[in-house]
Amino acid sequence: MDYQKWSLGFISLVFLLITSSSAELLIKQVTEGRGIEYNNSYSLKTNLGLTRVLREERPSSKIVTITSFSVIKGRSEAFESSTFEAAGYKWRFMLFVNGNQNDPDGGHENMALYVGIKETESFPRGWEVNVDLKLFVHNEKLHKYLTVSDGTVKRYEAAKTYWGFGNLIPRTTFLDPNEGYILHDTLSFGAEISIVNPAEKQEKITFISNPPDNVFTWKILRFSTLDNKFYYSDEFLVGDRYWRLGFNPKGYQGERPRALSIFLYAQGYKANAVITNTWGSVNLQLKNQRSSNHIQLYSEAWCAIRSGYGIEGNSIILLEDLQNSSKGYLVNDAIIFEAELVKVSVTNIVSA
Ligand SMILES: *[C@@H]1O[C@H](CO)[C@@H](O)[C@H](O)[C@H]1NC(C)=O
Ligand SMILES: *[C@@H]1O[C@H](CO)[C@@H](O)[C@H](O)[C@H]1NC(C)=O
């Protein structure tokens, strides 16, 4: 009785081991079968430049589905689709399920798919159509499209009216029922065609040293009567942008109450300016009104587009030095700040 129990337990254990190891095998197979991009023997050299990704969205230009794939599976001649319109032109697919020997990229090992341009008779002499071409094969099992592209621009012209990939997908992968490209004896493929018109304009950021009217002077009167808050200058235009100065006469924030700081703020833009970040390099000065012993701080920043981005002239003077009349910075209860924008950027739209 005991022996029988033990033996039953042993048998279940063996059964469990077998079950789990075959499950492991199954998982391994599924993982290996997920896509050709994980095949170690995939040749980089012969496929240089080709990118293959899986995506969920259907291709935008055209989809063709062939049912009863087994009927045509062995054929070497091309399948040609109907003519379809995309991106303002007429096109037609050419599919070689057993490869195109005339394509050096293809051969019998690969499925080949091309898109030809059609109805070009009325085009002017020397016509060219530049295309960004993506080709697709539906993977029904993964509910995704294998998306093949090589990033180059395909130039359709009278001497070359079709483009595509002779090595779209290896036939071994494509025909393997576990891979999921042929399911329910059905093959579905597609294309995304977009016209590449080279940009005619570009945005150009240039830096100007010592731009016109780059010195702004701000005299503050009745200094001793001012409150513990920020005061701002009028705005002034340098380059593409308005600027203003600001300071708190009682010192800036808790950490530096004993010093005065001055800020340059990037504000709005002049009419018709191209709105981008603005570079600002600035000399911020507190003028000495008795000598040339001005205090100067240099600061610089990429000023954000939003109004009020501040460039800081940190602790330009200690309050006790400012108050000391023999130093010459506070005279007749007035102080003078000066901002010299030594370099700013301007942005223009110019031809590319
Ligand atoms: C990997 O690719 C090579 C050549 O393309 C092919 O011969 C081989 O069968 C593939 N292996 C798997 C596991 O798909
Ligand atoms: C004011 O400045 C002068 C010259 O720098 C210095 O000799 C003097 O001690 C200062 N006075 C005070 C009250 O700090």
Q: Report pLDDT digits (tens) over 203-239.
A: 999 999 999 999 999 999 999 999 999 999 999 999 9
Q: Which of 169, 130, 127 is nearest to 37 (CA)?
A: 169
Quick check: helix, strand or coil at residue 32?
helix
Q: Report pLDDT digits (tens) over 227-285.
A: 999 999 999 999 999 999 999 998 876 655 689 999 999 999 999 999 999 999 999 99
Helices assigned H by DSSP within the chain: 2-32, 69-72, 171-175, 319-323
In the block, tokens 């969205």 appear at 57
* Atom 5 in ligand 1: residue holding the nearest Cα: 42
DSSP letters of 148-201?
EE-SPPEEEETTB-EEEEEEEEEHHHHH-TTTSSSBTTBEEEEEEEEE----SE
Q: pTM (2 decimals)?
A: 0.69
Q: How far is the CA of 42 from the centre of ligand 1 (A)?
A: 7
Q: Which of 43, 46, 167, 173 to mutate to test the pocket of ligand 1 (most atoms within 8 A of CB)?
A: 173
Q: Report pLDDT digits (tens) over 19-67.
A: 444 444 433 333 344 444 555 665 655 556 789 999 999 999 999 999 9
Q: Contact at 8 Å (CB) between 349 and 202? A: yes
Residues composing the chain = 352
Domains of the chain (ranges plus CATH)?
43-195 (2.60.210.10), 203-351 (2.60.210.10)
- CA 217 vs CA 37, 209, 234, 300, 336: distances in Å: 65, 19, 10, 19, 7
